[in-house]
Amino acid sequence: MSSIQANGAPRPGRLQRLLNLRAGETGPVLVATLLFFLVLTALMLLRPARDALGMERGIENIRWLFLGTALVTLAVNPLFGWLASRLRRLSLVAATYGFFVVSLVGFWVLLMFAPQAVGQRSGQVFYVWFSVFNLFVTMVFWALLADRFSRDQAKRLFALISVGGTLGAIAGPWLTSQLAQPLGTASLLIIAGALLVLAVAAAWWLFHLSSDRAYQDLAGNAAAPSTRIGGHAWAGLRQVFRSRYLMGIAGYILLMTLLATLIYFTRLQMVAAAAEDMDARAAMLGNIDMWTQVAVLVLQLTLTGKIIGRFGLGVALALLPAATAIGFIGLAVYGSFAVLILLEASNRAVQRGITRPAREALFTVLPREDKYKAKAFLDTFVYRSGDVIGAQAEGLLGRLGMAMGSLIGVVIPLSLLWAALGLWLGRAQTRTSAASEAPPLPSRRTAAPHERQPLHPASPRRPTPVPGEHP
């Protein structure tokens, strides 16, 4: 059998067919997977310490730390929008990651040379900083992918690329458990910073591969890495409130984080009851994170691509609300720590293995400026606002004496609304994709075949239509 297809392109190998890869996609997918691995390893190295530090002054303190994080993300968004308007895309990635590398070095200096200054207040600062760091580094990664891969590629490949993040989320806690005692906690900050530096190199590599003409044609993305995003600092926030589509994504994220926060605080309460020492809590939280990521990896390698490909983005987005509702019902019935771990593991597995790739595919139909600026506002401030609402709601329900069984009366209606919104977003993304791919209206002069050029979704001559967007 010939290894060349009828159109002259190389015939994909057996592994490429198994992973649903097409000609020219293997290199970019591998580099994107490596990039996500580096980012998530850096994050998960530090997450158990973040949660343990946050619990030092009690769970009630964490609710206020969530509010502080939301306010910081709101303050940082105009700065990020300003940078995005003036920097080239690769420079924006480097500047974002570089800022957090410098911050990590600063925390390391504090721990190494002024340990007496490290206390509860500095632990709170680290908690808020890490929460902002966590959102921005992952947001920039997914914005880069939404910019470099087409709508069709997003549906086929984002779940595959997410495997790199899952492997990083497994490697991070494992490295923490292996290196924290022999090297010290301060050294973990330097290791995380080094991983982010490697991530910048991987982003440059991805841009370099994306400049290949064959890959550009597949991605439908002809803009060079040196292209500036343009616009102004507040464009992302303004666009969210002008577009029903972006408002729908905002509502979906808000409900997702609200209910996830209810699970988060339930976990913290059970961990606080089971372990009093900070190191024991960190170890317990790290083990939960590691086994949860194993469940995510199994799901990504078996079902995610098939679900999105066969049933579409809407069903993929609706699965997480269904899993959350079922998990809360099980927790209300049994109320054990084992059921809580199962609830959190299934919730994160569906969220990261199915919902996250589907949610990120929603951004592929947007203009480039929205992929960075509107997405930054949605993935940071809106995300943390859901945390704040969920944290305060959980505290209020606890003060009112509502048990887990009573909480079901809140969770089930919100889950139904959340699922309906996911189905609507899936249909809206399909309509927008079809509209952007429709042929332009005929003009008085019909272009010759050799003159016809496919319009990029972000082309100023024909911007991508967004459902509900007002002029």
Task: Note the pLDDT tens digit of each residue in 138-171.
Answer: 999 998 898 888 888 888 888 889 889 888 988 8
In this prediction, residue 443 carries a pLDDT of 45
Using DSSP, state whether 444 is helix, strand or coil: coil
In this prediction, residue 458 carries a pLDDT of 42
Q: Is residue 438 part of a domain?
A: no
pLDDT, mean of residues 273-285: 59
pLDDT, mean of residues 50-68: 65
| Tokens matching residue 60 | 């009630």
Q: Which residues fall within 8 angstroms of residue 114, CB to CB, at 6 or more apart?
A: none
Output the CA torsion sign for 416, 418, 421, 425.
negative
426 compared with 217, residue with greater pLDDT: 426
Quote the DSSP letter at residue 228.
B
| Tokens matching residue 299 | 């799901």
Q: Which residues fall within 8 angstroms of residue 128, CB to CB, at 6 or more apart?
A: 65, 68, 69, 72
Q: Is residue 444 part of a domain?
A: no
162-211: pLDDT as tens digits: 889 888 988 887 888 788 778 877 788 899 999 999 999 999 998 887 54
Domain containing residue 153: 23-220+234-433
154 compared with 39, residue with greater pLDDT: 39
Winning range, highest mean pLDDT, from 47-51, 256-260, 293-297, 462-466: 256-260
Q: Which residues fall within 8 angstroms of residue 382, CB to CB, at 6 or more apart?
A: 240, 250, 253, 254
Query: Which DSSP string corresponds to 8-49?
Result: SSBPP-HHHHHTT--TT-HHHHHHHHHHHHHHHHHHHHHHHH
Q: Is residue 190 part of a domain?
A: yes
Q: Is residue 463 part of a domain?
A: no
**CB atoms near residue 198 (< 10 Å):** 18
Q: Is residue 464 part of a domain?
A: no
Q: Which residues pair with 228 in a beta bridge?
A: 88
Q: What angle, rounded to 10 degrees, do the helices at 404-437 and 383-399 form?
A: 160
With bands split at pLDDT 50, 70 and 90, how would you rate the model's confidence at 248? very high
| Tokens matching residue 224 | 């060079």
The answer, yes or no, to whether residue 292 has pLDDT greater than 80, is no
Nearest to 264 by CA among 24, 50, 86: 50
291 compared with 324, residue with greater pLDDT: 324
Q: How far apart are CA 413 and CA 159, in angstroms?
A: 29
The answer, yes or no, to whether residue 35 has pLDDT greater than 90, is yes
| Tokens matching residue 120 | 């509860």
64-85: pLDDT as tens digits: 777 888 888 888 888 888 888 8
Number of domains in the chain: 1
The answer, yes or no, to whether residue 453 has pLDDT greater than 80, is no
CATH code where residue 284 lies: 1.20.1250.20
The amino acid sitting at 423 is L
Winning range, highest mean pLDDT, from 149-153, 159-163, 252-256, 259-263: 252-256
pLDDT, mean of residues 389-400: 74
pLDDT, mean of residues 318-335: 83
Note the helical H segments in 278-353.
278-299, 305-334, 337-350
Q: Is residue 427 part of a domain?
A: yes
Q: Is residue 323 part of a domain?
A: yes
How many residues are given for the chain?
471
Q: Is residue 458 part of a domain?
A: no
Q: How far apart are CA 167 and CA 300, in angstroms?
A: 11
1 compared with 304, residue with greater pLDDT: 304
